[in-house]
Structure 1
Amino acid sequence: MKPLFKTCAVLAATSALLVACGGGNDDDPSPSNEPGVLTVSNATSADLNGVYGNGTLNLTDVDKRNPVGSVPELCSFKFDGANKAGSSATAFGDIRYRPDATVLHQAFVTFGGQEYASDEPTDTAVVRDSNQIRFNGKTLFATNGSGATVRVSGVIPMRPNRPSGC
């Protein structure tokens, strides 16, 4: 009986550690075979201007969530690994759009350690047939209230195995 108790205790401890450390979920982007590139121009901080993405991006799966409250049902995913050409800077972000929509609901993208966002659909496209999110001169605003902006053009890929409507 004692060996069985030890085995159960080890399994319980392992399960608790996996849950505490985030094991078994898809919250962190993982390598994909999908190319993506973002070009930043007209940034308030000229250091941020340039091309981000020198190959494939890391992506999470697209999730469909219907939160309680006034937030609409959303499809969302995260990306990272968009390395700036000629620099050690990187870009990463969180993309959100409504099921069956052709434009974004929200975008949060971090350049040079500063998060920029928009909740306006203009200058964006959700192109499901190409598994892409497209930015066409989209202005994003710093979330820290500083008034800083970046203008973003380019493509962020999506994984093809998405929930219905996403």
Structure 2
Amino acid sequence: MKLSFKTLALCGAVATLLAACGGGDSPNTSDQSGLVTVSAASDTNFNGAYASTTTGISDVQKIRRVGATDGCEYTFDALVKNGSANVSMSGTVDYFVDSNSLSSLSISINGVLYSIANGANTTVDRGANQVRFTAVKLDSEAADTNTLVVTGNLPMRGNRPGGC
């Protein structure tokens, strides 16, 4: 089989575009602790404390947004509900460059996705390498009206791009 330069160039361009689409890398085990307490959940099985002393976190990625403020994003996983090892939490943290509050937070508990698109009651604490939130109400992304409230902190990696 003979490959042409055009075919190789096209494959390279597609790979570059896919790599630049965001989302960053997958979370890796860290030595940092995370704790999120879920309360007032429509599905009461989700209420409780989710914790890990080895929270999975990805590198923080700087997201360039055309016509909007640039953002910083990372993912987390491996927060397990206390007393119920088969219930776990993962998600995505998104905040504006040089901002001290989140722009959005998405949390998945056993595959059910909840999110909020504002930074009310949140703090990005770069010095402590963590994000904190207090009594933040998230809405289900499914076609239902389920909600939950989260309070806690999530670690983030210290080797962040400028402004993140």
When the two structures are superposed, what TM-score results if normalisation uses the length of structure 2? 0.83
- Cα deviations across residues 122-157 of structure 1 (Å, max 9, x unaligned)? 111101111010010110110113111110000000
1:26 deviation in Å? 5.5
When the two structures are superposed, what TM-score results if normalisation uses the length of structure 1? 0.82
- Cα deviations across residues 80-124 of structure 1 (Å, max 9, x unaligned)? 000111111100001100011011001110013210000121111
Distance 1:26 1:107, change over 3 A: closer
Count of residues in Structure 1 that have an aligned counterpart in Structure 2: 147
In structure 1, how many angstroms separate the alpha carbons of the residues matched to 2:95 and 2:155? 14
> Retained in 1: the 8 A contact 2:24–2:61?
no
Partner residue, 1:9: none
Q: Which runs of 5 or more structure 1 residues have no equivalent in the other structure?
A: 1-11
Q: Does residue 56 of the first structure (1) align with residue 73 of the second (2)?
A: no
Q: Does residue 101 of the first structure (1) align with residue 80 of the second (2)?
A: no
1:47 deviation in Å? 0.3
| Pick aligned residue for 1:136 from 134, 137, 142 | 134
Q: Secondary structure at the match of 2:42?
A: coil
In structure 2, how many angstroms separate the alpha carbons of the residues matched to 1:85 and 1:48? 11
Which aligned segments of 4 or more residues in structure 1 are displaced greater than 4 angstroms? none
Partner residue, 2:79: 82
- Structure whose residues are more often helix by fraction: 1
Q: Secondary structure at the match of 1:56?
A: coil
Q: Give 1 or 2 for the bigger CA radius of gyration.
A: 1
| Pick aligned residue for 1:148 from 146, 149, 152 | 146
> Retained in 1: the 8 A contact 2:60–2:160?
yes
Q: How does 1:2-151 map to 2 (within 5 A)?
A: 27-69=25-67, 71-87=68-84, 88-151=86-149
Q: Secondary structure at the match of 1:129?
A: coil
Q: Which runs of 5 or more structure 2 residues have no equivalent in the other structure?
A: 1-7
- Aligned sequence identity (%): 33
Q: How does 1:147-166 map to 2 (within 5 A)?
A: 147-166=145-164
In structure 2, how many angstroms separate the alpha carbons of the residues matched to 1:27 and 1:158? 13
Partner residue, 1:6: none
CA RMSD of aligned residues (A): 2.2
In structure 1, how many angstroms separate the alpha carbons of the residues matched to 2:140 and 2:161? 31
In structure 2, how many angstroms separate the alpha carbons of the residues matched to 1:54 and 1:35? 6
1:33 deviation in Å? 0.9
Letter in 2 for 1:36: G
